[in-house]
């Protein structure tokens, strides 16, 4: 849900700043940041004393709240540990920002001014530091309580509701631009999280289509939703075969953000939108099946990225394509052994109805040809095998073009939303051979994320294409279960970089 944080950019000094709380950093080895030194000087050496006594060791993520410090205008001073100065990279910066937010949850301070943007973080500009800070603050304070009973909702009158980011006077205007970027990205990330977190009885294919239409209205971009009859006419036999076991009607969403030059070929983003994946007739085991509500996170990342680029008014042509349906077992559901005819004409033998993502994506990838794309990137919670291969940190990246793969890897590095390049050699292709159709929909357990990508590659021969398997990165399980909003940061960075290159 929308975080209620109100951001502003300020240019003041830590001792004189009048707020509920000022946030300043302390490195290890008793090294105070500039603003910590200013507080120290104004408070007759209090900070240095505390550090000497060992109550703030400067370890990364350590925090210490001080109240009513004499000589300081604000009611509170929050000291945040920064770790070793030499190790202070983007990651450490984000961790320190997160720690400061954690220390302020449910406290009495409702507004704070942070001096953490003054810290040197590698060679980052003030603009980038501020955008990263806003993005991190909103990620850390995100809460999903839209569907809880009112009394159970997080108390909205406690904790932080306004954060001023302090910068030097020469940095104010770039900081404002950075803040706008960070807020635009956070809006997309937050939307992707929300859509993922919504229960599958609410977030249906129809709901996703409504969200897309509403967003198109708000921002003024074109949105089209194709219904079952139109999909039949297009010959999307593969997509429709997945949808046929469900009472929920399938939707095929097309969004067009055309803010680049008229003759500029678009990038097409294709998102897997299975709003619930039971496995179909090849039914999944019961444990953690609820998490298969997240099987539309590819679609959510496309919607989120559209929200971000529309908010930024990015001067670039981007088309979003979302095939969305449920994968349910039913008297009419597709059976293992069924042979489908895809929109491309290739026939597919379904050996496992739980390998449904590729079945809906292949028709969407064929549909994408009509846009004469400069590149197509699909995003999908496609395989459990990808989670086994890469765990929960890296998104799996597959591509038929090494330049495109490098671009996406770099975007992921820059956005701190990393992917890892996986092989997709022809050697793997025979694993998809079928005795009864052109291609089988599974290639066996070994290398499962690779054979899934190989399946998609059969439908993407006409353009440069990359596939992002986000099965391990789109949400986290366990106590902190929830959508992550990934890979909206990666996709946004990729599009922004391409837009900058073309303008």
Closest CA to 360 of 236, 262, 217: 236
Q: Of 128, 251, 272, 358, which residue is the catalytic one? A: 358
The string of DSSP codes covering 107-164 is SS--EEEE-GGGS--TT--HHHHHHHHHHHHHHHH----TTS-GGGSPPTTSS--EEE
From the list 94, 112, 355, 440, which residue makes contact with ligand BES (rule: CB under 6 A)? Answer: 355
Among Zn ion, ligand BES, Mn ion, none, what binds residue 414 when CB lies within 5 to 8 Å by partner kind?
A: none
291's CB contacts (< 8 A; 6+ apart) are: 475, 477, 481
**CA atoms in the 13 A half-sphere facing the CB of 301:** 34
Q: Site residues for ligand BES, window 288-317 (CB under 6 A)?
A: 295
Q: Site residues for Zn ion, window 83-112 (CB under 5 A)?
A: none
In the block, residue with structure tokens 């005795």: 435
Number of residues that bind ligand BES (CB under 6 A): 16
Give SS3 for 256: strand
Among Zn ion, ligand BES, Mn ion, none, what binds residue 206 when CB lies within 5 to 8 Å by partner kind?
A: none
Do 269 and 318 contact (CB within 8 A), yes or no?
Answer: yes
Is there binding between residue 385 and ligand BES (CB under 6 A)? yes
Is there binding between residue 295 and Zn ion (CB under 5 A)? yes
* DSSP 8-state secondary structure symbol assigned to residue 102: H
Stretch of 81-89, 217-225, 256-264, 351-359 lying at the interface with Zn ion (CB under 5 A): 351-359
Question: How far is residue 157's CA from residue 471's CA, in Å, rounded to a whole number?
Answer: 36
Q: Is 358 marked active-site?
A: yes
Is there binding between residue 454 and ligand BES (CB under 6 A)? no
Q: Is 151 exposed, middle or buried (0-12, 13-18, 19+ CB in 10 A)?
A: exposed
Is there binding between residue 349 and ligand BES (CB under 6 A)? no
Give SS3 for 28: coil
Among ligand BES, Zn ion, Mn ion, none, what binds residue 175 when CB lies within 5 to 8 Å by partner kind?
A: none
From the list 448, 483, 485, 489, which residue makes contact with ligand BES (rule: CB under 6 A)? Answer: 448
Site string for ligand BES, 256-285 (x = CB under 6 A): ---------------------x--------
Question: How far is residue 411's CA from residue 407's CA, in Å, rounded to a whole number?
Answer: 6
Residue closer to Mn ion by CB (options 452, 496) is 452
Query: What residues line the site for Mn ion (CB under 5 A)?
Result: 277, 354, 356
Residue closer to Mn ion by CB (options 205, 412) is 205
Q: Is 332 marked active-site?
A: no
In the complex, residue closest to Zn ion by CB: 277
Stretch of 33-41, 121-129, 166-174, 357-365 lying at the interface with Zn ion (CB under 5 A): 357-365
264's CB contacts (< 8 A; 6+ apart) are: 316, 317, 374, 502
Question: How far is residue 240's CA from residue 250's CA, in Å, rounded to a whole number?
Answer: 8
From the list 40, 118, 356, 378, which residue makes contact with ligand BES (rule: CB under 6 A)? Answer: 356
Catalytic residue positions? Answer: 284, 358
């Amino acid at each position: 849900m929308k975080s209620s944080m109100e951001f502003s950019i300020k240019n003041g000094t830590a001792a004189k700043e009048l707020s509920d709380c000022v946030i300043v950093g302390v490195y290890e080895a008793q090294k105070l940041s500039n603003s910590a030194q200013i507080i120290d000087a104004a408070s007759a050496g209090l900070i240095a004393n505390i550090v000497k006594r060992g109550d703030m060791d400067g370890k990364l993520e350590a925090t210490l709240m001080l109240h009513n410090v004499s000589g300081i205008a604000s009611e509170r001073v929050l000291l945040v540990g920064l770790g070793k100065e030499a190790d202070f990279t983007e990651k450490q910066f984000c961790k320190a920002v997160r720690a400061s937010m954690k220390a302020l949850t449910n406290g009495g301070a409702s507004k704070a001014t942070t001096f953490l943007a003054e810290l040197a973080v590698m060679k980052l500009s003030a603009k980038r530091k501020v955008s990263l800070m806003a993005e991190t603050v909103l990620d850390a304070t995100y809460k999903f309580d839209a569907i809880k009973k009112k009394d159970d909702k997080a108390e909205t009158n406690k904790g932080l509701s306004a954060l001023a980011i302090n910068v030097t006077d020469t940095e104010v205007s770039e900081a404002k631009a950075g803040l706008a970027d960070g807020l635009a990205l956070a809006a997309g990330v937050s939307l992707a999280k929300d859509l993922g977190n919504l229960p599958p009885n609410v977030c249906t294919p129809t709901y996703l289509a409504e969200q897309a239409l509403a967003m198109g209205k708000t921002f003024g971009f074109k949105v089209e939703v194709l219904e079952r009859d139109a999909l039949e006419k297009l010959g999307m036999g593969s997509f429709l075969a997945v949808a046929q076991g469900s009472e929920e009607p399938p939707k095929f969403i097309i969004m067009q953000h055309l803010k680049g030059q008229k003759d500029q070929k678009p990038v097409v983003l294709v998102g897997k939108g299975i709003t619930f994946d039971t496995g179909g007739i090849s039914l999944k085991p019961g444990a953690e099946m609820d998490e298969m509500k997240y099987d539309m996170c590819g679609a959510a990342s496309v919607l989120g990225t559209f929200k971000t680029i529309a908010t930024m008014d990015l001067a670039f042509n981007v088309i979003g394509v979302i095939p969305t349906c449920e994968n349910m077992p039913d008297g009419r559901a597709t059976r293992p052994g069924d042979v489908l005819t895809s929109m491309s004409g290739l026939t597919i033998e379904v050996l496992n109805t739980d390998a449904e993502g590729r079945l809906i994506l292949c028709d969407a990838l064929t549909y994408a040809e009509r846009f004469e794309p400069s590149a197509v990137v699909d995003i999908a919670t496609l395989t459990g095998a990808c989670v086994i291969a890469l765990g929960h940190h890296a998104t799996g990246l597959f591509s038929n073009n090494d330049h495109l793969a490098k671009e996406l890897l770099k975007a992921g590095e820059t956005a701190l939303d990393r992917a890892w390049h996986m092989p997709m050699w022809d050697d793997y292709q025979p694993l998809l051979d079928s005795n009864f159709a052109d291609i089988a929909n599974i290639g066996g357990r070994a290398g499962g994320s690779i054979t899934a990508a190989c399946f998609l590659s059969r439908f993407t021969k006409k353009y440069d294409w990359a596939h992002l398997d986000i099965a391990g990165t789109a949400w986290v399980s366990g106590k902190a279960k929830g959508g992550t909003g990934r890979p909206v940061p990666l996709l946004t960075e990729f599009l922004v970089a391409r837009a900058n290159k073309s303008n």
